[in-house]
Structure 1
Amino acid sequence: MATLTRAPGSAGRRRQGASHRSTVTMKIAMALSGAVLLAYLTAHMLGNLKIFFGESSFDHYAHWLRTIGEPLVPHEGALWIIRVGLTVSVVVHMAMAILLTRRARRARPVKYVHRPPVQGSYAARTMRWGGVIIALFVVYHLLDLTVGVANPTGAAGKPYTNVTADFEHWYITVIYTVAVVAVGFHLRHGVWSMTRTLGRRRPGTERLAGRIATGYAVSMTAGFLSVPFAVTVGIVG
């Protein structure tokens, strides 16, 4: 009676296939969590621009955020739902980034004496330290304008006063600028990578994806920096 034998290396091919699928799954999870963060950043940037309509408009917007969904949800309930969702997205995004980086290193365990120049954009090469800057800034930003303990004024219920109090100090504007520029580089590479992960790759779309990513990153950076610069030079305040 004939017996069936497996082709040599079939187990290895199955392991490679499983590894590839898990890598793709991690990339998709990273892209989707990144998309959630992009949506929040876009809304946050647009909301910040309310400051150009005056103190009452900006304060009204900030207070409105705390009443979304009332009376179906408690006061600030929607904000806490958003905060939890963002926290989960950040954790997933960072975890997938770490796992994918480690997997890429394991796939290339040999260190070359003469390492060839890294291919890719400047944004791609600075994603690691940029992420550290962003993480540290988020902590400071929360202590500054959410908790209020790091704000020069820390006036409860007066977001316009707190924002303008921040950027009347040039060094806070510098800190904010460095962080936002890091965000811009991160966004440029992140949007480009997300379109490659979630979209269909076709001839000629690489350049278009790069242009879209660059345009989005520049727009977001300019939008976020417009507020501190306007306060610093006296347009707002």
Structure 2
Amino acid sequence: MATTTLTPRQRAVRSTVALKALMAITGLVMIGFLLMHMYGNLKAFLGAEVFDHYAHWLKTDLLYPLLPQGWFIWIFRFVLLACIAAHMYAAAVLTGRAHGARSTKYVTTDRIQETYAARTMRWGGVIIVGFLVFHLLQFTVQAVTPGFTPGTSPYEMVVLSFQQWWLVLAYAIWIVAVCMHVRHGVWSALTTLGANTSPGARRFLDGLAWVIAVVLFVGFMIMPVAVLLGWIN
């Protein structure tokens, strides 16, 4: 049987396709996490007991006794961290290749067709990662404790934190960056995975991307705003 030797260009094309698929899959995993996280945050409207029970179940009892107590959350964190690292690596490599492929400095048709969200995906990613680190230092490590003391219950941590107006404002900026990233990312990921097969499918994907982005924005912001206004205390 004859073997086929790939040219450098063919290998580069296959590598690019693989990186785009990696970005798409890891991006969808992270969007799933955001939707789950948003759902958990909304439990604050049900009171301290319900919210604290959910937090304890998530960190200790989820998938128990299938897994030992407390294992799931660490496995989940490792998988999510791996997805973030793989997503950022693929994005960096693809961005470098895109810049390297440009032989002229004039504006091309492809660049004109890019949306604002697409052009700012890199900076949006930087904002998201930066605030994610702060978020982990605040609620997981508890090294940054605006309004509360370490060891406070999950419900009290959330309420006391979002009573700080500046934190709600910073959180809003972060959520806007996330939702811009998600709006473009949903469409791009599903297109990469082959869902954009017709004009009708394109319109559906664009609408789906907007719906997910809006749901995430409202779902994430309604609780901090309710705390700041005193509706949750």
TM-score (norm 2): 0.91
Structure-to-structure mapping, 1:162-173, within 5 angstroms? 162-173=157-168
Q: CA deviation at 1:20?
A: 1.2
8 Å contact kept, 2:196–2:205: no
> 1:50 is aligned with what amino acid?
K
Distance 1:164 1:215 in 2: 28
Distance 2:40 2:81 in 1: 20
Of 78, 86, 91, which residue of structure 1 is paired with 2:80? 86
Q: CA deviation at 1:36?
A: 1.2
Which residue does 1:192 correspond to in 2? 187
Distance 1:179 1:94 in 2: 18
Of 65, 70, 75, which residue of structure 1 is paired with 2:58? 65
Partner SS, residue 133 of structure 2: helix
Q: Does 1:40 align with 2:33?
A: yes
Distance 2:149 2:113 in 1: 46
Of 126, 131, 144, which residue of structure 2 is paired with 1:132? 126
Structure-to-structure mapping, 1:1-237, within 5 angstroms? 14-66=7-59, 67-112=61-106, 118-151=112-145, 152-156=147-151, 158-204=153-199, 205-237=201-233
Indicate the percent of aligned positions where both proteins have the same amino acid. 42
Distance 2:51 2:154 in 1: 8
> 1:61 is aligned with what amino acid?
Y
Unaligned runs of 5+ in 1: 1-10
Q: CA deviation at 1:17?
A: 2.0
8 Å contact kept, 1:230–1:236: yes
Q: CA deviation at 1:138?
A: 0.4
> 2:13 is aligned with what amino acid?
H
How many residues are paired up? Answer: 225
Distance 1:15 1:149 in 2: 49
Q: Deviations over 1:36-92 (max 9, x none)?
A: 111111111111110111111001000011221334433321000000000100000
TM-score (norm 1): 0.89
Distance 1:108 1:24 in 2: 19
Which has the higher Rg, Structure 1 or Structure 2?
A: 1
> 1:97 is aligned with what amino acid?
A
Q: CA deviation at 1:29?
A: 0.7
Q: CA deviation at 1:155?
A: 4.3
Distance 1:147 1:39 in 2: 23
Distance 2:213 2:25 in 1: 18
Q: Deviations over 1:164-191 (max 9, x none)?
A: 1111110000010000110000000000
- The 1:100/1:79 distance shift into structure 2, 3 A limit, reads same
Which residue does 1:3 correspond to in 2? none
8 Å contact kept, 1:155–1:161: no
Unaligned runs of 5+ in 2: none
Of structures 1 and 2, the one with the larger relative CO (CA 8 A, separation 6+) is 2
> Which stretch shifts more, 156-165 or 195-204?
195-204
Q: CA deviation at 1:154?
A: 3.1
